[in-house]
Amino acid sequence: MRGGSRLLAGVLVVAWGAVYLITQVLVAPALGVLPTLAAGLVVTTVVVLGYPSALRGPRSGATTRKRSRSSARRPRDPRGVRDGLTIAAAGRSMPLRNGLTLDAARRTAQLIRPLLGGDAIAITDTEQVLAFVGPGADHHHVGGTLQTRVSRLAIGKKRTVVVHGRDGIGCPEPDCPLRTAVVAPLAVADRVVGTLKVYRVHDEPAPRVLVDDMASMLSLHLELAEMDRERHLASDAKLDALRAQINPHFLFNILNTIASKSRTDPEESRQLLLRLSDFFRYAVRQDGHFAEFSQEYFFVRTYVSLEQARFGDRLRVRYDLDPQVLTARVPVLVIQPIVENAVKHGIADSVTGGTVHLRARVDPLTRTTSIRVSDDGVGMAPTVLDRLLAGERPGTAGLQHSGVGLWNISQRLDSLFGDRYSFDVASTPGKGTTVDLQIPLR
């Protein structure tokens, strides 16, 4: 504790002692507890506000003078702050995180120019100029092919090249003001995808270490962008697999049901055809990886109505939904395949049929959406369930019963959420299966 704080603590002790002496000893009769506390708090407030201690800090004028002297003594960091921007701050907001595009390259060049001590900044891919900021922009045109020999050299050798004279740059424009250059390759893994070029209009080039560090940072962002792109492609492929997974036997059975009802109940047959059309329209045309739960719920209800036309009273479905969940965004084509798995492998194989329960909740405290699909059907054997939970791909011996639905869903959730979700399956032979899914609230 500093000296000022100790002094203030002593003053407060004395003040409270005086309050006690006045209210409890000198005054007759003595004041009650509440008036005594009120008087003590008033005195404490006056003391603290009127005392320039460590609790308040130095006076504003002194603070200003002290900061001014500290700023004057602080040495300038050659790799530090320029125009209030640091390399670390630039790295957190680097536009190249979205990939090596014209717009991202332009905004990146504008962002890093104050940091690198160059008069002009250029970013290229292996064939063309993507961005050029500073002197020389009148002839180093964005979208044009690479004009300088030094760019080709850096790409070919896969290392940073420093040029100390205009002739080394190799610009064909005779009036080009650029005199020195530091050109660093931008790489994804071992593959060069472009260059970062820092030019100056005088004879001293920009610090090579600084340019190398920035090129490494940009390369990291490009690598992350490529990983994102590959992850999205993988998610697209898994979504396409789920769409292609729509069981042909389901379609065949529904069409047979519609054909049979066309003779006995033409109106119901027409309604079933409309529902089947809605079912496939949603499955095929749904855009993106997420949709509101209400849309997925409609898709599930459409599927259930088609299956109930086939199974009749043998298939019963109960819904227990929190109204808040209807606006939550969930992955498309995830809930329906789980319900279909319950119908196909749980209820259809039961002689007496059964009931499927769909329950959904939103937890605003943990920011999660919880979905449970359970049935009282035939269940799965422990060995089949263990192999499924171990991540073994369906289609191998003994796993055909579980289908590909749950495995595809698990793989797709991995690509969408990483480790930020839970997907649990519990099953007891003769009693049914329960699937619990918990995902981040969106």
List, in order, residues 6 or more apart from 73 with CB less than 8 Å away. none
Tell me the CATH class for 87-229.
alpha beta
Task: Provide CATH code, domain 245-440.
Answer: 3.30.565.10
- pTM for this prediction: 0.50
- Residue 288 is encoded by which pair of tokens? 């993106």
Please give the structure tokens belonging to residue 24.
Answer: 């409890």
CB atoms within 10 A of CB 101: 15
**CB within 8 A of 401, min separation 6: which ones?**
345, 380, 381, 384
Q: What is the pLDDT along the chain (442 residues), one digit of tens a residue?
A: 455 567 777 777 787 788 777 777 777 777 777 777 777 777 777 776 665 544 444 444 444 444 444 443 444 444 444 444 455 545 455 566 667 888 888 888 888 888 888 899 999 988 888 999 999 888 888 888 887 788 888 888 888 989 888 777 878 888 889 889 899 999 887 788 889 999 999 888 888 888 888 888 888 878 777 776 656 655 555 555 555 555 566 777 788 888 888 888 888 888 888 888 888 777 766 667 888 999 999 999 999 999 999 899 999 999 999 999 999 999 888 898 899 889 988 898 888 899 999 999 999 999 999 999 999 999 888 887 777 666 555 455 444 444 456 777 887 788 788 889 999 999 999 899 999 999 999 8
Q: Which two tokens stand for residue 370?
A: 């919880």
Query: What does the pLDDT read at residue 411?
Result: 77
One DSSP character per residue, 315-334 reads EEEEEEE-GGGGGSEEETTS
Q: Taking the domains of the chain in order of start, what are their residue ranges? A: 3-60, 87-229, 245-440
How, if at all, do strands 191-200 and 180-188 pair?
antiparallel
**Residue type present at position 345:** H
DSSP state letters, 108-175: HHHHHHHHHT-SEEEEEESSBEEEEESTTTTTS-TTSBP--HHHHHHHHHTS-EEE-SHHHHT-S-TT
Per-residue DSSP letter, 392: P
Per-residue model confidence (pLDDT) at position 361:
96
SS3 call for 200: strand
